[in-house]
Structures are given as structure tokens and as C-alpha cells.
Amino acid sequence: MICFDEGRLLAYLDGQLSPRESREVGAHLAACPRCRDVLAGLAAAREEVGRLLSPYHSAALNLPVPRPPAWPRAAYAGAPKTGKGVVSWTENKKNPPATPKKPPKSSSK
Amino acid sequence: MSQRPCAAVLYKWKGRERLVDGRPETVRRTQEFEELYRRYYAQVVRHLMYLVGERTVAEEVVQDVFLKLYTTPPPREENLLGWLYLVGSRLALNALRGEKRRRQREEQWVWRHYPEVVPLEEAAMRQAAVQRVRRVLESLRPRERLALLLRHAGFTYREIAEALGVAPGSVGTILVRAQKSFLARYRQEEGGTEDDLF
């Protein structure tokens, strides 16, 4: 029996594996007490990190941000000459590209 | 001519410029850009502030993010804010790499011994718990710090991989190390603060 590395187990915890991989890991965990231990350790660490980061995250999210400084005119002059350099944003919004959007891979299935 | 000239070049050609809605095209685009700048500025600054932990750095990086939007915008505007966050995360990583070296030279000693001199203008960021987390994050490798913070903010491994410029398969491994060093440094920091009381 081949065990999964910690990175893979954490990805499993975070729900970031493809459905197939996730099933594989799940099946392995059911049969491997050692990996279950590792997983429990990772889950505890993950939870603690999350708990500690939360106040920092909300402090950053609630920062009062003053109005943006005027966009420097000099930045326009310094813009490199690229073919696709300037796209009309509102145009794009009103007329989305005709090509169909690719469905996102993995995660949602 | 195969390439379209950029706005700066078009400006010089104002006289010959195509009119759209009765206005020169460049002027209109510039106004659109500035509208987006005003609309998303605060959100991008907060995201950067969260990642780099320091307002001055965040405010420098945010200018680069919008410069990137101006010079090489995403091909489609499906999720502009997501794109701005991604570009911001990448630039934040660069800034942290440079910043870390600078700080190690100049400031780390001061930070550790005189946390109160750290210029923290926001009351929320001055809370002891928040400050401690900031110091711990400061001591992590920039890549691990970013991975941890992006995951906490709900980014997917795929997005984290893109921000860090690594393969999606290695994000888990990076996060495992990041969790470990974060918690180890946090415990050190807890011990350290008590020692500092003499």
C-alpha cells in the first residue's frame, strides 16, 4: 500500500483534489491508520492557523482606505507599446466575447 | 501596420484620432481606465495590505497593479477584480522578496525588540493579537506566507499556484510547510514576548 504525501492529504482536506483523486485518497484513508493520523495532525494545524489568522484578516479587510491618489499622467506616457495595450473596458462588458466560456475544470463536479 | 499604437502614442496623434461618441478614442479609454482605478482601488489596497502587512508597501504595489491593467489588460473582462487580485498577489510576492532582504538588514532587530515603534497607523492593526500575527508572518518565507494568506482568504490551489508561479500540485506541500513554520514561529513569538518583559 502506497501512502499519500502530506501535501496531497492537505489538498484533500482543503477540497482541492479532483473528484477521482479525492475518492482515491478517501479509500486509502479508510484502510490506513497511519495516514489518518497524519491527516488529523494536518487538520489540527490548519484549524489553528485559520483561527490565528482570522483577526489579522478582518483587520486588513476593515482598513479604511482613503480615496485613491490621482492616477499619474506620467504613467500613460511610460506605457510600453504593446499591440493589446489598450482594451476598451466598457465595450468588452457590453459585448462579451463570442467564444463560449470553457467550463472550469475539476472542483465543481 | 499590424500593431495598434498604445494610448501614449495616440495622444500625439490627437488630430487624426478616431472619434468615438464624439470624443477622441484615447480620451474615452483613459476615462474608462480611471473609472476602474477609482472603483477597485480600495479593494486592491486591502488585499495587498493583507498580503504584505504594511500600508506603504501596499500603496506602492497598487500603483503597479493598475499600471499593469493599463499596459497589458486581461484579454477578457470576465472577472476583473479576480485578475487584479492575482496580479496584486504576484507583485506582492516580489515586493516581499525585496522587502524581506531590506528589512533583514535594517529593521528586524528593531521590530523584535521595540514592536511599538513599528509605524502602524490603523487601530485595528495595532491590536496585540494582530501585531503578533504580523510579526510571525514577517518571519516566514514570502512564498509560504502568501500561500497561507491566500488560502485563508478563500483562493483555490489553482489560483495560489498561479500567483506563486508554481505547479498546482506543489501548493499542498508548500502549505504543509507554511502551516508548520507559522505555528512554530508563533509559539516562539509567544515565548519571546514573555522573555522581553524581563
Q: Give the model confidence (pLDDT) of B128-163 as tens digits.
A: 888 899 999 999 999 999 999 999 999 999 999 999
Please determine, for residue A96, whether its predicted confidence score (pLDDT) is greater than 60. Answer: no
DSSP conformation class of B107: T
User: pLDDT higher for B61 or B104?
Assistant: B61
Tell me the shortest Cα–Cα distance from B141 to chain A, in angstroms: 16
Asked whether residue B134 falls in the same domain as residue B71, the answer is: no
For residue B186, give its domain range: 120-198
Q: Which range has highest mean pLDDT (A30-44, A53-67, B62-76)?
A: A30-44
Q: How many CB atoms lie within 10 A of CB B126?
A: 14
- The answer to whether residue B148 sits within a structural domain is yes
- Residue in B with minimal Cα distance to A89: B32
Q: For all residues of chain B together, what is the average pLDDT?
A: 79
Tell me the shortest Cα–Cα distance from B105 to chain A, in angstroms: 26
Give the CATH number of the domain where residue B158 resides. Answer: 1.10.10.10
Domains identified in chain B, total number: 2
Q: Does A15 touch chain B (CB under 8 A)?
A: no
- pLDDT score of B29: 73
- Sign of the torsion angle spanned by Cα atoms A26, A32, A35, A36: positive
Q: How many CB atoms lie within 10 A of CB B45?
A: 22
Last residue of a domain, one of B59, B74, B106: B106
Asked whether residue B126 falls in the same domain as residue B98, the answer is: no
Residues 47-106, chain A: which have Cβ within 8 Å of B? Answer: 48-50, 52-65, 67-68, 71-72, 75-90, 92-93, 96-97, 101
CA distance B26 to A57: 39
Please tell me the number of Cα atoms within 13 Å of B177 on its side-chain side. Answer: 12
User: In the predicted model, what is the mean pLDDT of residues B79-104?
Assistant: 85
- The answer to whether residue B2 sits within a structural domain is yes
Q: Which residues contact A63 (CB under 8 A, 6 or more apart)?
A: B45, B46, B49, B55, B122, B124, B125
With bands split at pLDDT 50, 70 and 90, how would you rate the model's confidence at B47? very high
CA distance A52 to A58: 11
Asked whether residue B72 falls in the same domain as residue B157, the answer is: no
User: In the predicted model, what is the mean pLDDT of residues A13-21?
Assistant: 96
